[in-house]
């Protein structure tokens, strides 16, 4: 069951149709067709660095300017991107099917933007919250203090001028003077327990886990679908490449999110 043949898509569709509760887990691949680079694989490098070398507390302690430069570049890049057909289809699914929970590892905010646009189109703007994802790894545009944890709200860090700044000129906390940092979850840091708890409960209660565009290498996100399988639920994977989850997938659909997800859920 490895080609997105008509039969495989129909099988996945019927699993989704029959499900009372669905958990959707997305990764960087769902935003690739919006122009947001993925972390691993072709195009996954920034300059000569891998994500694992920059998305760590140790990297920030060693060279906060370099890490801020990467995040400022990504903030500017994502600001120019729009949600794609997969984000919109998943927002429609969440708004039209009660019992659907969106969970994302992405920090780009594109699911939330799609939720607002689709809720407006469906003339139920107040319901957009039902299509808001649980953001396991935080928010690219949030900023907090590295020392006292205080939420610093929206802080603009200019991508072009930051290379010329000294560490002393980097943004600082108004309360304690500590360095500010992006409001994301780095390797070795704990996920927000409330967010992870809600995602785990959704996976444990789901009849179907729909996993889209993740290499399934990073934990605990990569382990969520196993909760659904453990209760006898189905796993549907959408990804152009095989992942460590593929062998356990009830249906593995090899293709891009933008092409396959709308065909599955609309
Ligand atoms: C397409 C496509 C298209 C392309 N359509 N698809 C258990 C075992 C081993 C290790 C651990 C473990 N538990 C915890 C750990 C340690 C660590 C970890 O997982 N390490 C592994 C890498 C070995 N995890 C952590 O440290 C986590 N914290 C934690 O667990 O705390 C407790 C603890 C600490 C220490 C030890 C033990 C426990 C925190 C993880 C935080 C991850 N942070 C990042 C950065 C976020 C901020 C930022 O954006 O800068 O999150 S790293 C990066 O990877 C980012 C992503 O969300 C995450 C996952 O990447 P994703 O989304 O899968 O992207 P890619 O690029 O890998 O894959 C893209 C996929 O898309 C590919 O498959 C393509 O084929 C596909 N694709 N085009 C559909 N058009
Ligand atoms: Zn502080």
Contact 137, 107 (CB under 8 A): yes
Tell me which residue has tokens 């120019």: 80
Question: Residue 204 maps to which CATH number?
Answer: 3.40.50.1220
Looking at the fold, whether 72 and 95 belong to one and the same domain comes out as: no
Contact between residue 139 and residue 104 where contact means Cβ atoms under 8 Å apart: no
pLDDT at 1: 43
Q: Which residues of the chain have pLDDT under 50?
A: 1-2
* The pLDDT value given to residue 124: 81
> Is the same domain home to 200 and 155?
no
Are 252 and 123 found together in one domain? yes
Catalytic residue ranges: 137
Name the domain count of the chain: 2
CA of 61 to the centre of ligand 1 (A): 21
Of 100, 173, 188, 253, the C-alpha closest to 111 is 100
> Burial level of 198, CB count in 10 A (0-12/13-18/19+)?
middle
Expressed as residue numbers, the domain containing 27 is 1-36+83-137+190-266
Residues 208 and 252 occupy one common structural domain? yes
State how far the Cα of 107 lies from the Cα of 8, in Å rounded to an integer.
Answer: 30
The answer to whether 134 and 101 are in contact (CB under 8 A) is yes
**2, 252 Cβ separation under 8 angstroms:** yes
Same domain? For 62 and 162 the reply is yes
Q: Are residues 74 and 94 in the same domain?
A: no
Do 245 and 226 belong together in one domain? yes
Q: Do 43 and 32 belong to one domain?
A: no
Q: Around ion ligand 2, which residues have CB less than 5 A away?
A: 145, 147-148, 150, 173, 175-176, 178
Read off the pLDDT of residues 81-140 as tens digits, 9 standing for 90 and up: 999 999 999 999 999 999 999 999 999 999 999 999 999 998 887 789 999 999 999 999
Residues 194 and 104 in one domain: yes
- Smallest CA-to-CA distance from 132 within 195, 178, 80 is with 195
* Residues 64, 112 within the same domain: no
pLDDT at 168: 83
Distance CA 88, CA 113 (A): 9
* 7 and 61 part of one domain: no
Q: Which of these, 257, 259, 253, 229, lies nearest to 38 by C-alpha position?
A: 257
Which residues form ligand 1's pocket by a CB distance below 6 Å?
27-29, 32-33, 38-41, 44, 51, 55, 105, 107, 137, 184-190, 213-215, 217-220, 238-241, 243, 256-257
Q: Considering every ligand atom, which ligand is closest to the CA of 151? A: 2
CA 144 to ligand 2 center in whole angstroms = 8
Residues 247, 213 share a domain: yes
Q: Which CATH number do you get for residue 61?
A: 3.30.1600.10
Q: What is the pLDDT of residue 161?
A: 80
Of the bound ligands, which one is closest to the alpha carbon of residue 45?
Answer: 1
Tokens for 145?
């203090």
Closest atom of ligand 1 to 39 CA is 66
């Amino acid at each position: 069951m490895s080609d997105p043949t008509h039969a495989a898509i129909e099988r996945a569709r019927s699993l989704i149709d029959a499900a009372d509760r669905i958990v959707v887990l997305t990764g960087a691949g769902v935003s690739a067709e919006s122009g947001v680079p993925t972390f691993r694989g072709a195009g996954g490098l920034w300059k000569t660095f891998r994500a694992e070398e920059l998305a760590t507390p140790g990297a920030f302690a060693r060279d906060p300017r370099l890490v801020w430069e990467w995040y400022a570049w990504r903030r500017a890049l994502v600001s120019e991107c729009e949600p794609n057909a997969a984000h919109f289809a998943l927002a429609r699914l969440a708004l039209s099917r009660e019992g659907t929970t969106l969970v994302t590892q992405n920090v780009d905010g594109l699911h939330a933007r799609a939720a607002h646009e689709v809720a407006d189109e469906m003339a139920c703007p107040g319901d957009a919250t039902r299509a808001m994802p649980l953001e396991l790894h935080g928010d690219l545009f949030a900023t907090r203090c590295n020392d006292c944890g205080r939420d610093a709200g929206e802080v603009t860090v200019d991508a072009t001028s930051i290379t010329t700044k000294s560490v002393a000129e980097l943004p600082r906390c108004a309360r304690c003077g500590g360095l500010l940092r992006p409001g994301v979850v780095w390797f070795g840091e704990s996920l927000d327990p409330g967010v992870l708890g809600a995602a785990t409960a959704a996976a444990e209660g789901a009849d179907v886990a729909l996993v889209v565009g993740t290499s399934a290498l990073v934990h605990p996100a990569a382990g969520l679908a196993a909760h659904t399988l453990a209760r006898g639920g189905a796993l549907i994977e959408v990804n152009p490449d095989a992942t460590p989850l593929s062998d356990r997938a009830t249906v593995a659909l090899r293709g891009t999110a933008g092409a396959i997800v709308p065909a599955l859920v609309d």
